[in-house]
Amino acid sequence: MEIIIDKPKLGDLGEIRKILAQWTDNPEVEKYVKRIQDEITRKIEFNTHYWVARYSGMPVGIVGLCDPLPQVLPFAKTSRPGKFKILYVDGAYRGKGIGKKLVDFLENEARKEGYAEVLARSAERYRDTSYGFYEKMGYKNVGTVYAGEDRSKPMRVFRKEL
């Protein structure tokens, strides 16, 4: 299976929306689709960049890299951390190495951007899919932050030096 990773295009947004909808609720889906669209049209916030994994030209995964949010900075060990913005693979393509390819790609991009480490935040609802995956990719579980307006949603923080 040949996977190509490149920048998303406006025509990819429908497929990206479908991938995201498998994993998160509609407000989150629309928030990320808007941010991806903004990057495509050169409206970049928080130094955020996205890439898609393609199989036969169709998006089957999406990953993003950004500067870290203030709440995860205490978990950084270097002065130049980057952070996963998102990492999702179409459920029909799980277990085929696409997530690993996206992580490897993101880490290489992070190095090019001068990041010395990468942090990842993952919600409790992904404990069965992402926690073990990040650890398998060499990330260490370094703590918990709390998201949401009332700070009631625990999110694990993972870290890897590059």
Q: What is the pLDDT along the chain (162 residues), one digit of tens a residue?
A: 899 999 999 999 999 999 999 999 999 999 999 999 999 998 988 889 999 999 999 999 999 999 998 999 999 999 999 999 999 999 999 999 999 999 999 999 999 999 999 999 999 999 999 999 999 999 999 999 998 777 888 999 999 999
Burial of 41 per CB tally in 10 Å (0-12, 13-18, 19+): exposed
Count CA within 13 A, CB hemisphere, residue 98: 25
Would residue 138 count as lying in a domain? no
Would residue 150 count as lying in a domain? no
Would residue 68 count as lying in a domain? yes
For tokens 């955020």, what's the residue? 48
How many Cβ atoms from other residues are within 10 Å of residue 59's Cβ? Answer: 23
Beta strand ranges found along 46-152 (DSSP E)? 49-55, 58-66, 81-89, 117-123, 140-147
Strand order in the sheet with 3-6: 3-6, 49-55, 58-66, 81-89, 117-123, 153-161, 140-147
pTM across the whole model: 0.94
Give the CATH number, domain containing residue 95: 3.40.630.30
Would residue 129 count as lying in a domain? no
Query: Which tokens is 102 given?
Result: 């996206």
Q: Which domain holds residue 92?
A: 3-120
Q: Write down how long the chain is.
A: 162
Number of domains the chain contains: 1
65 and 83 in contact (C-beta within 8 Å)? yes
Would residue 101 count as lying in a domain? yes
